[in-house]
Amino acid sequence: MRETKFIEQNREKWQDFEQMLQEDRHEPENLNARFVQITDDLSYARTFYPNRSVRIYLNQLAQQIFHRVYRGKRLPISRIFRFWSDELPQIMWEERRALWLAFALFGIALGIGIVSSILNPEFARIILGDQYINMTLENIQSGDPMAVYKQSRPLGMTLGIAINNLQVAVFTAISGVLAGIGTIYILLYNGIMVGAFQYFFIEKGVIWNSILTIWVHGTLEIGAIVISGAAGLVAGSGLLFPGTYRRAQAFQQSLRRSIHIFLGIAPLIVLAAIFEGYLTRFTETPAFIRACFIGVSLAFLIWYFVLYPWQKAHSSGFSIPDGFKTLPPDVVQHIEFHSIKPSGAIFADAFAIFSKKSSQLIGIIAGLGAFTCAYIAVFTLLYTQKFQLNPGKDWDGGDQVLQLFSGDTAPGLWYLQWTIYAVLSAVALYSVASCMPKPPKPGWANLLGLILPAMGMLLLAESGIGISAWFVNALFWPALGMISAAVFFGSDKLFFNLARGIQFIYWGPAILLGMLTVSTIALLFVFLKTPIWDTMLGFIGWIIPNGIELKIWIKAYVLIFFMYINVVFQVISGALFYFSCLETRTAASLHAAIEHIGKTRKIRGLPRE
């Protein structure tokens, strides 16, 4: 059949189908019938008119419906209701020991803060800082001890507090991946701080005013911190107590439950920030009303997170969701490279690949980290007039170790790290390729092309620390990893691959994926701020005379080791995100399914007639 006749015969059908999509008409039966017809026409056009515009037109129509079906699904209201009414209470009941342990740790720390303040009157200054103590003393002398809550506008104050508290809760919950040590540290630190904070007001004779003001929002806020501590302990339990499962499987299950607990307290954290921004400032409100408000908040926490799960467990019971069923010990997680995945699934697959290849990856990262530190050490000894290792107090703080990786430390250091970032990208992408059914064989042009996105990665790594740097990293790491994958898995045309990688990015899922990966990797760097790390360095300085320089180099090596782990993990995540976006753009699996229409010998497992 000639192409013009083929178009004339099907023009009205295609126009009606396109009109249906433009008007967003929801007619499942009609839509399904039209889609089958379009895919049949597309298959015919791909066979007889492969280089004509009609094939491109039909391909676009098929892609539109493909995106509508697979990307237009919305979370049903019943699923949200089941999470709050059944899934979260079930997890809280099953992990009640972690909740009680988190509460006990916080309570013990609270007592330590109070006793320490009694024994040392300056303890509050050590914990809370001179600036806050002096400001509060001025407010007490002026007759308004809680004036600090009236100094900012409600909206800006609410947003700032919500972001900060969410960040604290995220770190508390996910710090459990460090075998629970990070979570315990954060619980103890916050408990001691609250104890010292409250005793300071007892000492100044304004305790009831402070309780009726601070705990208007503090009830939900502190309750959320304790529950996030329970989430962190749950996450660490999989590593410490895997049971009959492999440690990676047990950790995967415990981390999933921990994330569900955090999702349950996230609204409480936002609500507490709203209370602090809009309600706490009204210190003239009658004490009875504020006390009732605090009592209602406390009663809700006890009822929903303790009593309601107990009542569900002893009456109607729980319906176990599919997502929480235990996995068989011999389950093998297969990575699907030709499907559209949400950010959470991409993150889980990236973690699976990194775990599967961990021995090889960690060996390469450790070797490159040692080479980098050795290169810097040699030139700091040869060029002491340019760079002095100052064995002063600042080096024990930790941040000054970053000076070792500055461009002035050793000649050509920036270019060396640039090259290492490109090598790490190639190693990460080879790890991804090894998990594919038919691993591709990139050429030298593909490997050399990794130099360009590696430059962006190095600039991100040097962006510093803090909230702004965290957002910048979360925004751009998935994009750079995806561009690296486009260069590695693409053709030998470098600039075409770069443009293709940039064009394929979906920024919404990319930002969410970046928040997941950056927050997880940030936990490694949080470890450098814990007393455990300082104790280890102190032990080294104790057993090795004049070992201050050795401590500097140990901290430098651990820091560069974590930075290189970040590069590898981010590139693996970006590569998996690339395949998901590639499927969204090209619908390759849809085309493959169309090619097999009518060729299979079975229909739903039954022989064809």
Res 604: pLDDT: 44
CA distance from start to end of the chain: 29
CA dihedral 413, 418, 420, 423 (to 10 degrees): -160
The helices-and-strands tally (H runs, E runs) of the chain is: 26, 2
pLDDT band at 594 (very low <50, low <70, confident <90, very high): low
Q: How far apart are CA 491 and CA 484, in angstroms?
A: 13
Q: How far apart are CA 553 and CA 208, in angstroms?
A: 50
pLDDT band at 244 (very low <50, low <70, confident <90, very high): confident
Res 441: pLDDT: 81
Do 347 and 577 meet the contact criterion of CB atoms below 8 Å apart? no
Report how far apart, in Å, the C-alpha atoms of 588 and of each of 18, 199, 501, 584 are.
21, 65, 16, 9
**607 bridge partner residues:** 602
Regarding predicted confidence, which is higher, 461 or 417? 417
Mean of pLDDT values over 85-94: 88
Phi, psi at residue 75, to the nearest 5°? -70, 120
Listed residue (413, 391, 415) closest to 401, CA to CA: 391
Percent of the chain with pLDDT over 70: 76
Res 588: pLDDT: 66
Listed residue (285, 458, 250, 431) closest to 349, CA to CA: 431
What average pLDDT does the chain have?
78
Do 238 and 250 meet the contact criterion of CB atoms below 8 Å apart? yes
Listed residue (222, 225, 224, 219) closest to 292, CA to CA: 219
Res 66: pLDDT: 63
Strand, coil or helix: 603: strand
Strand, coil or helix: 441: coil
Q: DSSP class of residue 600?
A: -
Strand, coil or helix: 602: strand
Cβ contacts of 467 within 8 Å, gap of 6 or more: 163, 167
Listed residue (265, 271, 273) closest to 229, CA to CA: 265
Listed residue (537, 484, 475, 545) closest to 510, CA to CA: 475
Assess whether pLDDT exceeds 60 at residue 69: no
Assess whether pLDDT exceeds 80 at residue 226: yes
Report how far apart, in Å, the C-alpha atoms of 309 and of each of 198, 222, 288, 314 are.
31, 20, 30, 9
Q: Sort 160 into a burial class: Cβ within 10 Å, 0-12 / 13-18 / 19+.
A: middle
Query: In this predicted model, what pLDDT tens digit does every residue of 7-52 receive, in sequence order?
Result: 777 877 777 777 776 666 555 556 666 667 777 777 777 777 766 6
Res 535: pLDDT: 57
Res 106: pLDDT: 93
Assess whether pLDDT exceeds 80 at residue 487: yes
Res 104: pLDDT: 94
Regarding predicted confidence, which is higher, 592 or 131? 131
Res 510: pLDDT: 82
Type of residue numbered 252: Q
Task: Determine which of 116-125, 269-278, 458-467 has the lowest per-residue pLDDT on average.
Answer: 458-467
DSSP-derived secondary structure for 223-239? HHHHHHHHHHHHHHHHH
DSSP-derived secondary structure for 337-395? SSS---HHHHHHHHHHHHHHTHHHHHHHHHHHHHHHHHHHHHHHHHTTTT-----SHHH
Q: Sort 276 into a burial class: Cβ within 10 Å, 0-12 / 13-18 / 19+.
A: buried
Do 487 and 453 meet the contact criterion of CB atoms below 8 Å apart? yes
Task: Determine which of 280-284, 557-561, 598-602 has the lowest per-residue pLDDT on average.
Answer: 598-602
Task: Determine which of 1-5, 141-145, 410-414, 474-478 has the lowest per-residue pLDDT on average.
Answer: 1-5
pLDDT band at 5 (very low <50, low <70, confident <90, very high): confident
Mean of pLDDT values over 155-182: 77
Do 372 and 420 meet the contact criterion of CB atoms below 8 Å apart? yes
Q: How far apart are CA 528 and CA 402, in angstroms?
A: 12
Q: How far apart are CA 252 and CA 327, in angstroms?
A: 10
Q: How far apart are CA 586 and CA 516, in angstroms?
A: 26
Assess whether pLDDT exceeds 90 at residue 428: yes
Assess whether pLDDT exceeds 70 at residue 179: no
Predicted TM-score of the model (pTM): 0.58
Do 588 and 433 meet the contact criterion of CB atoms below 8 Å apart? no
Listed residue (549, 559, 490) closest to 529, CA to CA: 559
Regarding predicted confidence, which is higher, 106 or 143? 106
Handedness of CA 377, 378, 383, 385 (dihedral sign): positive
Residue 594 — left, alpha, or beta (φ > 0 → left; ψ -120 to 50 → alpha)?
Answer: alpha
Q: How far apart are CA 109 and CA 193, in angstroms?
A: 8
Q: DSSP class of residue 98?
A: H
Query: In this predicted model, what pLDDT tens digit does every residue of 288-344 receive, in sequence order?
Result: 998 999 999 999 999 999 999 999 888 867 765 444 545 544 444 567 777 778 887
Do 318 and 90 meet the contact criterion of CB atoms below 8 Å apart? yes
**606 bridge partner residues:** 603
Tokens at 212, concatenated: 């009726």
Strand, coil or helix: 608: coil
Res 323: pLDDT: 44
Assess whether pLDDT exceeds 80 at residue 268: yes
Q: How far apart are CA 413 and CA 406, in angstroms?
A: 8
- Number of other residues whose CB lies within 10 A of the CB of residue 153: 8
Query: In this predicted model, what pLDDT tens digit does every residue of 495-548 receive, in sequence order?
Result: 787 787 788 777 778 888 888 788 777 777 766 666 556 656 665 665 555 545
